[in-house]
Structure 1
């Protein structure tokens, strides 16, 4: 009888843990930025993403080069945890939100990002990241996901995440 009770009590916790690990039920906030009137967010699951990006250590393989800089004034895009937003729901998931996923094996048509601290002179974007919630990879993926290859990003803000 006690095994059945342990199983009955433990099964719901196990199910919640599994669903939470997949990001479907108990997902924490995901990195998100707002560019113009469009939110761009790291997708809860890769299947939900409209755009997949990959990363490479080989600058020759890259389609986009992103340099990590130490000075926010030298950056095209800066992420800091102390930035406040005027729009508390700016990054709420909406039909217009563009979802981006980081792919381990990007398709041939996906952007491939070379992320480096080196100033090789060929960076398409420069980012500054000082955050507990964003990694440099997250920031680079969001920036590339927000960009139209024909128009550089001029202004972006961090919205609160839902």
Structure 2
């Protein structure tokens, strides 16, 4: 009976430790380094310093990101051909700035419209096994830190 009580005490503590660290898997999350700062997709939304969301309605967007057909025409390019991210690929001297992708847009956070056509604030090219187009767009907009409302004339 004593063993069961010890086990019953340890399991909740182990679960709490996992939640506190925010690591549910040992797999790496998409990240980039911009001007000496690492920006990474958050595992848990509440841990993130920055949040972004996506919309399919260009009139609701605050940032437009164009999916480019070529790396040469893009502002931001992600190309890899590996099955897993290199250990320490985004290691930096300071903690990573975390970006979460929200399911519902908030007035204070960037709302991204992904499109294959311009005009756009950013042009991205993604050919990767570890990054999705949404991950890349969220990271580049999250790394920017601020956003602006697109003018209706530019749509």
Q: Same fold per TM (> 0.5)?
A: yes
**1:99-150 residue CA offsets vs partner (Å, 9 max, x unmatched):** 000000121111000001123xx20000000001100000000000111448
Give the TM-score taking structure 1 as reference length.
Answer: 0.70
Pairs aligned (count) = 130
Tell me the equivalent position of 1:50.
Answer: 49
Give the TM-score taking structure 2 as reference length.
Answer: 0.73
Q: Which runs of 5+ in 1 are unaligned?
A: 1-7, 151-162
Structure 2 distance, partners of 1:102, 1:57, is 15
Contact (CA 8 Å) 1:27, 1:44: kept in 2 or not?
no
CA RMSD of aligned residues (A): 2.9
Deviation at 1:93, TM superposition (A): 7.3
Deviation at 1:95, TM superposition (A): 4.4
Tell me the equivalent position of 1:153.
Answer: none
Q: Which runs of 5+ in 2 are unaligned?
A: 1-6, 148-155
Partner SS for 1:78: strand
Contact (CA 8 Å) 1:33, 1:39: kept in 2 or not?
yes
Partner SS for 1:70: coil
